């Protein structure tokens, strides 16, 4: 310890690489850990036991698909009722359809909703059934009521607004019971959804306006793409349920035995898959940067220890002359190497924690969380670097001949 303190500047520069490496590991790990919990909660809000049956892959760009896929037959309103009757694993099956914005630069192609002088454009208009909220928990009602069977049967002009849209249209008043003009038609506001800003750039419930499916079909007959949301009962295995759902849809649509499906089944796991791809690339990049930092730091530790062995050759010879064994000399220099690397590791953990919590404070949507696991990992990495890069200098010191060492300089 006296030797390290006597060479403060050299010791500080030696541990700098380890500090950089451990800081990058700890800060990125804390951010990813926090986001993992956040993403899992969001996926659960979408519905972890939810399948979406679509004509084309959900969320895909039709212009990037083959003509065979684009020419698939449309799903029908009656398909949901068929699944409820023929598929015992189904808790709920409900249809919905979306009117999306074809071109954001063209006002005539955008959905438009107005109240007094307030106006919102560019949102998603969705026609739904009463079971939507039971099937997709993300569409939970914060105020007012949901769409009922009576609304559906009578094609009532009622609507539920996303929280973001409600805030813009009704900044000072309660929207429940007010009448708005939706694409030029009057609708009564019966509810407002819970806040949901979306994930990975996908639209959240805040950007949705929902109306009864029957009213949607009557006013927008040109929208022929129907989607089916299917919620699976808790006691059923999801993999088995997915296979049964596929077979039921093939029977319903009379798909030949050897033919490919003319529909697609998606689930909330596509978000998890997307997140895994993002974090996988981020972890790989961080690993490369951290490895470079740790390599530089390790080489620095080895370098300073070799210099220390050279500078203290007479001391080594004296210790051996009074009875020190190779084990004692090796342990002494290994300890010095570990002290250097652990000091860098602890500083790296501290810096990583500061970075993580600074990110959390400045960007609340990135809930960085520093776990005991990653703190322990930082300590283990730093100890490992000290042992690995300190072993050669320590062994070199231990193998010095005591007579030659005593005569050195």
pLDDT one-digit tens code per residue, 332-345: 888 888 888 888 88
Strand residues in 240-373 grouped as ranges (E) = 264-267
Q: Per-residue pLDDT tens for 195-238?
A: 887 665 567 889 999 999 999 999 999 998 899 999 988 888 88
**Top-confidence residue, 348 or 107:** 348
23-38 average pLDDT score: 80
C-alpha closest to that of 379 among 347, 403, 406, 345: 345
Mean per-residue pLDDT, 27-56: 77
Q: Is the pLDDT of residue 356 over 50?
A: yes
The pLDDT, as a whole number, for residue 113 is 94
SS3 of the chain: helix, strand, coil, percent, to 5: 55, 15, 30
Average pLDDT over the chain, rounded to whole?
Answer: 83
First to last CA, the chain: 24
Lowest-pLDDT range, 37-41, 87-91, 276-280, 295-299? 276-280
Confidence at residue 302, expressed as pLDDT on a 0 to 100 scale: 84
Q: Could you write out the DSSP letters of every residue in 362-378?
A: H-TTS-----HHHHHHH
Question: How many Å apart are CA 25 and CA 285, to the nearest integer?
Answer: 10
pLDDT in tens, 358-388: 888 887 767 787 778 878 888 888 888 888 8
Q: Which has more confidence, 12 or 260?
A: 260
134-160 pLDDT, tens per residue?
A: 888 888 899 999 999 999 999 999 999
Give yes or no for residue 316 having a pLDDT over 90: no
CA distances from 311 to 160, 166, 268, 306 (A): 79, 75, 63, 9
Give the alpha-carbon dihedral of 397, 403, 406, 409, to 10 degrees.
-90
pLDDT tens digits along 292-309: 777 777 887 788 888 878
pLDDT computed for residue 45 by the predictor: 62
43 — pLDDT class (breaks 50, 70, 90): low
Cα–Cα distance for residue pair 170/150, rounded to 1 Å = 27
- pLDDT (0 to 100) of residue 104: 43
Strands (E), 87-245: 90-99, 112-115, 118-121, 124-128, 141-144, 158-161, 179-182, 185-193, 208-212, 227-232
> Does the pLDDT of residue 102 top 70, yes or no?
no
In which band, very low, low, confident or very high, does the pLDDT at 266 lie, cut at 50, 70 and 90? confident
Half-sphere exposure of 379 (CA within 13 A, CB side): 5
With a cut of 90, say whether residue 48 has pLDDT above it.
no
CA-based radius of gyration for the chain: 32
Best mean pLDDT range from 237-251, 264-278, 288-302: 237-251
Residue 277 pLDDT exceeds 70: no
The CA dihedral of 350, 353, 354, 356, to the nearest 10 degrees, is 160
CA 351 to chain centre: 24
Report the share of the chain in percent with pLDDT over 70.
87
């Amino acid at each position: 310890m006296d030797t390290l303190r006597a060479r403060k500047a050299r010791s500080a520069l030696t541990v700098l690489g380890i500090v950089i490496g451990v800081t990058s590991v700890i800060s990125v790990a804390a951010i990813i850990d926090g986001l993992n919990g956040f993403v899992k909660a969001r996926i659960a809000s979408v519905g972890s036991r939810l399948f979406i049956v679509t004509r084309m892959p959900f969320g895909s760009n039709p212009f990037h698909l083959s003509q065979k896929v684009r020419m698939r037959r449309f799903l029908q309103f009656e398909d949901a009722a068929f699944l409820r009757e023929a598929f015992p694993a189904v808790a709920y099956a409900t249809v919905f359809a979306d009117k999306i914005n074809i071109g954001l630069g063209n006002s005539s192609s955008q959905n438009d909703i107005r109240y007094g002088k307030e106006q919102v454009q560019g949102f998603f208009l969705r026609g739904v059934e009463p079971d939507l909220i039971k099937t997709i928990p993300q569409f939970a009602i914060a105020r007012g009521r949901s769409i009922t069977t009576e609304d559906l049967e009578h094609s009532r002009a009622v609507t539920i607004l996303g929280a973001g849209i409600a805030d813009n249209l009704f900044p000072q008043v309660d929207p429940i019971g007010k009448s708005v003009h939706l694409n030029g038609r009057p609708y009564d506001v019966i509810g407002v959804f819970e806040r949901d800003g979306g994930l990975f750039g996908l639209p959240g419930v805040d950007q949705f306006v929902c109306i009864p499916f029957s009213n949607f079909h009557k006013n927008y007959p040109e929208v022929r793409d129907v989607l089916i949301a299917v919620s699976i009962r808790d006691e059923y295995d999801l993999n088995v349920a997915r296979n049964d759902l596929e077979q039921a849809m093939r029977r319903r649509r009379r798909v030949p035995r050897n033919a490919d499906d003319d529909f697609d089944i998606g689930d909330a796991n596509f978000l998890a898959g997307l997140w895994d791809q993002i974090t996988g690339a981020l972890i790989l990049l961080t690993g490369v940067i951290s490895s470079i930092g740790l390599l530089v730091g390790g080489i620095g530790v080895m370098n300073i220890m070799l210099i220390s062995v050279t500078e203290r050759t007479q001391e080594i010879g004296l210790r051996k002359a009074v009875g020190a064994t190779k084990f004692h000399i090796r342990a002494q220099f290994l300890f010095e190497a570990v002290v250097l690397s652990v000091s860098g590791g602890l500083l790296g953990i501290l810096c990583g924690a500061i970075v993580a919590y600074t990110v959390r404070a400045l960007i609340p949507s990135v809930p960085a969380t520093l776990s005991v696991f990653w703190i322990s990992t930082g300590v283990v990495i730093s100890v490992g670097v000290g042992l690995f890069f300190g072993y050669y200098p320590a062994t070199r010191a231990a193998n010095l001949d005591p007579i030659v060492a005593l005569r050195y300089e």
